[in-house]
Amino acid sequence: MSEEEMVSDGKATESVKSNPKLTLLPLIALIFYEVSGGPFGVEDSVRAGGGPFLSLLGFLIFPLFWSLPEALVTAELASSFPENGGYVIWISSAFGPFWGFQEGFWKWFSGVMDNALYPVLFLDYLKHSIPVFNQLIARIPALLGITVSLTYLNYRGLHIVGFSAVLLACFSLFPFIVLAIISIPRIRPQRWFVVDFKKVDWRGYFNSMFWNLNYWDKASTLAGEIKDPSRTFPKALSGALVLVVSSYLIPLLAGTGALKSDPSEWTDGYFAEVGMLIGGAWLRWWIQAAAAMSNMGLFEAEMSSDAFQLLGMSEMGMLPAIFASRSKHGTPTVSILCSATGVIFLSWMSFQEILEFLNFLYSVGMLLEFAAFIRLRIKKPDLHRPYKVPLETLGAVLLCLPPAFLLVLVMFLASFRTYVVSGAVMIIGFLLYPALGHTKNRKWVRFSTTEPTVLSKNDLEDQAVVSQHPQETADEASVGLLSDLPSSEIERAPQFTVGEVSKSD
């Protein structure tokens, strides 16, 4: 590296360090938006469930068998590997960089598809009051304008995104508190138990449940931007879990209990009509405004995670170094633009199409994460775990079985078109890894070769984790995770660069 490049890198590092880290409350808000963002989009679970009963039951049971295990696994692994890249680092440590790259590619593609939903959902709510957004001539410019505006806000800084998420969460949830209060005199509990099994769309039902309760692991991709992530992450996940479940159940209990409406009417954006029927036009407009703000928060949180995942992969040497370049605001500029481009290309698809595609890819990635969680428990029992799920290996396996079953079920219920599209994405990932490796070896593009950081015994006692990206050689011997070594061995442990590890595979 030339002297000019070193000076430039030094200035960039100084600029990044000046940006404040995320604290507990903004992280709770970001996780809330990664997973939920409020009850917007859950209406379809009532229609697909043939009535309110299965919808309400699902949001009571699914968090126990799906959300809680995923949150616990994320808390343990994110606190053990508190760096940008999140689950890419977990998989690389457990199964090697090839599978780490595949995980990153699948989850990034799934995340971009997920982000393409939010401008669509925003317009779905708005079209109830402004019908012109049903027409392509108005819809397409609106989708582009929303995407560009929110991408710019994301570029301005993660701390701004975190602070905005807190304000947006408060604004988005407040009208539903009002809705719940004024609906109390009209609630008839027997309406909650209505179900017509002949009208149940099981594929749509499970996809809706799954989508509204997943992505607990997503915020781990920006763990390097969080203040004291090993302590903050578990607390934030606990707070977000309570907030997410409450934000679904309370509005659904109010809306389905107070109104005798046909389940077929419960489609995307129907909560605006619920507000109109229970409170009047003022409440409908308020819910529509809340939906707009919520979709802003959802978009911002998802794009932040997707962009910092690419940054983390670049720092690991899996992607060209340009993906790790940061703006003066500390944000990964190229990674943000890459994610925004994907959103624009995918936003023309329908809500249900996007939902099914992203759920399938997400399921494959999550199965790999659960496998990595168990493998690391066996392979690296002495891994520094500031937070550890209080279960031994057998208990960890049993913890992962129910959500793994749900993942397989969601994949099994997918349409043939989903199998084709998801299969094509996976094949592209398999081909992309050796292609990037060839590019790296030929030195056509610059890749990062950052060496791992070695911590002292005192650092480990402060629950800091080694700042490196663990990789494996072909014989599966670990060359990373120096925190696994006894303190007496850390000083003489061999140093590997990411580039050297990749060549050995």
Per-residue model confidence (pLDDT) at position 151: 80
| Per-residue pLDDT band at 431 (split at 50, 70, 90) | very high
Q: Is 296 helix (H, G, I), strand (E, B) or coil?
A: helix
Statement: residue 307 has pLDDT above 50: yes
Eight-class DSSP state of 387: S
Residues 6+ apart with CB under 8 A from 453: 466, 467, 468
Per-residue model confidence (pLDDT) at position 15: 44
Three-class secondary structure assignment of 307-373: HHHHHHHHHCCCCEHHHHCECCCCCEHHHHHHHHHHHHHHCCCCHHHHHHHHHHHHHHHHHHHHHHH
Per-residue model confidence (pLDDT) at position 449: 63
Statement: residue 18 has pLDDT above 60: no
Per-residue model confidence (pLDDT) at position 128: 65
* Dist CA 209 CA 229 (whole Å): 29
Per-residue model confidence (pLDDT) at position 217: 87
Statement: residue 58 has pLDDT above 80: yes
Statement: residue 42 has pLDDT above 50: yes
For residues 86-97, average pLDDT: 92
Stretch among 36-45, 153-162, 211-220 having the lowest mean pLDDT: 153-162
- What is the percent of the chain where pLDDT is above 90? 28
Higher pLDDT, 453 or 260: 260
For residues 21-25, average pLDDT: 85
Statement: residue 469 has pLDDT above 60: no
For residues 251-265, average pLDDT: 91
| Per-residue pLDDT band at 116 (split at 50, 70, 90) | confident
Per-residue model confidence (pLDDT) at position 111: 82
* Dist CA 251 CA 439 (whole Å): 52
Structure tokens at 392: 């031994």
Task: For the chain, give every residue range classified as CATH 1.20.1740.10.
Answer: 3-434
For residues 171-192, average pLDDT: 93
Per-residue model confidence (pLDDT) at position 413: 81
For residues 112-135, average pLDDT: 73
* Dist CA 118 CA 124 (whole Å): 10
For residues 91-113, average pLDDT: 90
* Dist CA 320 CA 339 (whole Å): 15
pTM of the model: 0.76
For residues 349-356, average pLDDT: 69
| Per-residue pLDDT band at 374 (split at 50, 70, 90) | very high
Higher pLDDT, 51 or 224: 51
For residues 139-144, average pLDDT: 77
Spatial CA neighbour of 322 closest among 331, 333, 306: 333
Statement: residue 497 has pLDDT above 60: no
DSSP bridge pairs for 84: 222
CA dist list (Å): 501 to 298, 449, 473, 498? 36, 10, 6, 5
Per-residue model confidence (pLDDT) at position 475: 32
For residues 401-410, average pLDDT: 89
Statement: residue 102 has pLDDT above 90: yes
Mean pLDDT taken over the chain: 79
Whether the Cβ atoms of residue 410 and residue 256 lie closer than 8 Å to each other: no
For residues 417-428, average pLDDT: 90
Per-residue model confidence (pLDDT) at position 352: 67
Higher pLDDT, 449 or 467: 449
Per-residue model confidence (pLDDT) at position 258: 93
Give the amino acid at 175. P
Max avg pLDDT among 56-60, 214-218, 229-233, 344-348:
56-60
Per-residue model confidence (pLDDT) at position 350: 64
Per-residue model confidence (pLDDT) at position 60: 92
Max avg pLDDT among 146-160, 320-334, 412-426, 442-456:
412-426
For residues 134-145, average pLDDT: 75
Architecture of domain 3-434: Up-down Bundle (1.20)
Per-residue model confidence (pLDDT) at position 125: 67
